Structure 1
Amino acid sequence: MRQILAVAAGLVVLAASACSAPTPPRSAAPSATPTGPATLPAPTGAHPVGTTALYLKDASRPDPWNLDADARELKVTLWYPTEQRDGQRAPYMTPKESELTLRRLGIGGVPDDTLSKTRTNAIKDAEPAGRNLPLVVISPGFTNPMITLTSLAEDLASRGYVVAGIDHTYESYATTFPGGRVAECLACDSDTDPGFGTGVVAGRAADVSFVLDQLPSKWDGSDLIDRSKIAMAGQSIGGASAMATMVKDSRVRAGIDMDGTTYARIPKSGFSRPFMFLGSPQHVPGGRDTSWERDWKLLTGWKRWLVLSGAEHQSFTDGPLMAGTLGITPAYGVLPAARAAELTRSYVAAFLDQHLKSKRQPLLDRPSPRYPEVKFCPATCDQS
Structure 2
Amino acid sequence: MATPRRRLAASAIVALSVTAATVVASGTAFASAPAVQTVQSVPTVQPAQSAQSAPASASFSLPAPTGPYAAGEDTLHLTDTSRLDPWRPASGYRQLTVSMFYPARRGTGQPAPYMTLGEAQGFVQYRVPPGFGVTPESVAAVQTGAFAAAKAAPGKFPLVVLSPGLENPRATLTALATDLASHGYVVALIGHPGEDSGEQLADGSISPCVTCGSGGPPADVIAASRGVDVKFAIDQLVDHHVWALSHLIDKHAIGMAGHSLGGAAAPLAMEDDPRILAGVNMDGSFQQIMPPGALGGRSFLMLGRDEDHTAGGSDTSWSDTWPALDGYKRWFAVTGASHQAFTDIAILGQEAGIPLGYPLDAFRGAQITRTYVEAFFDKTLKGCPEPLLDGNSAAYPDVAIQS
Specify the TM-score bucket, using the shorter chain as the normaliser. 0.7 to 0.9
Give the conservation status (yes or no) of the 8 Å contact 2:127–2:197.
no
Cα–Cα, structure 1 residues 91 and 145, in superposed 2: closer, same or farther, change >3 Å? same
Pairs within 5 Å for 1:189-268 = 193=217, 196-216=218-238, 217-268=241-292
Q: Which amino acid aligns with 1:359?
A: C
In structure 2, the residue matched to 1:135 is 159
Contact 1:34 1:325 in 2 (8 A): no
Q: How far apart in 1 are the matches of 2:114 and 2:27?
A: 23
1:72 aligns with 2:94: yes
From 23, 40, 45, the counterpart of 2:67: 45
Relative to the length of structure 1, the TM-score reads: 0.88
Secondary structure of residue in 2 paired with 1:250: coil
Q: Any idea what SS the aligned residue of 1:72 has?
A: strand
- Single out whichever of 129-138 and 225-234 deviates more from structure 2: 129-138
Secondary structure of 1:59's counterpart equals strand
Distance 1:234 1:191 in 2: 24
Tell me how far apart the structure 1 counterparts of residues 348 and 25 of structure 2 sit (CA, whole Å): 21
Q: Is the 8 A contact 2:25 2:212 kept in 1?
A: no
Matched residues in 1 for 2:322 and 2:351: separation? 39
Task: Name stretches of at least 5 consecutive residues in structure 1 with no aligned partner.
Answer: 16-21, 379-384
Map 1:265-344; keep pairs closer than 5 Å: 265-271=289-295, 272-281=297-306, 282-331=308-357, 333-344=358-369
Shift in Å at residue 357 of structure 1?
Answer: 0.5
TM-score, structure 2 normalization: 0.84
For residues 64-107 of structure 1, the C-alpha deviation after alignment (integer angstroms, 9 at most, x for no partner) is: 00121231001111000111424321100122222221211352
Equivalent-residue separation in structure 1 for 2:84 and 2:209 (angstroms): 17
Q: 1:35 touches 1:324 (CA, 8 Å); kept in 2?
A: no
Q: Counterparts in 2 of 1:145-160, with a 5 A limit? A: 145-160=169-184
Q: Percent sequence identity over matched residues?
A: 40
* Cα distance between partner residues in 2 of 1:262 and 1:94: 31
Code of the aligned partner of 1:199 = V
Q: Does 1:96 align with 2:118?
A: yes
Q: Is the 8 A contact 2:165 2:261 kept in 1?
A: yes
- Structure 2 match to 1:12: 30
- Maintained 8 Å contact 1:35/1:326: no
Letter matched to residue 152 of structure 2: P
Equivalent residue number for residue 185 of structure 1: 209
Cα distance in 2, alignment partners of residues 169 and 263 from structure 1: 20
Is it true that 1:115 corresponds to 2:115 in the alignment?
Answer: no
Contact 2:30 2:129 in 1 (8 A): no
The Cα offsets for residues 323-369 of structure 1, whole Å up to 9 and x where unpaired, read as 244331343x5210110011000000100000000001000001000
CA contact (8 A) 2:112 2:147 kept: yes
Q: Quote the Cα distance in structure 1 between the aligned partners of 2:364 and 2:228.
A: 34
**Secondary structure of 1:91 counterpart:** coil
1:334 partner letter: P
Instruction: Report the Cα offset of residue 2 of structure 1.
Output: 5.1
Which blocks of at least 5 consecutive residues in structure 2 are unaligned? 1-22, 38-48
Quote the Cα distance in structure 2 between the aligned partners of 1:62 and 1:189: 22
For 1:337 and 1:34, locate their aligned partners in 2 and report how far apart those are by CA, in whole Å.
Answer: 22
Aligned partner of 1:220: which letter?
A
Distance 2:56 2:395 in 1: 32
- 1:24 corresponds to: 36
Q: Greater shift after overlay, 90-99 or 344-353? A: 90-99
Tell me the matched-pair count.
360
Are 2:176 and 2:370, in contact at CA under 8 Å, matched by a contact in 1?
A: yes
Q: 2:371 aligns with which of 346, 350, 366?
A: 346
Moved more, 160-169 or 318-327: 318-327
Query: What CA RMSD, in Å, does the superposition of the two structures yield over aligned residues?
Result: 2.3
For 1:135 and 1:270, the matched residues in 2 are separated by 22
Distance 1:105 1:269, change over 3 A: closer
Distance 1:60 1:273 in 2: 28
* Whole-Å separation in 2 of the counterparts to 1:334 and 1:24: 25
How much does 1:186 deviate? 1.1
Detail structure 1 runs of 4+ shifted over 6 Å in the superposition.
32-35
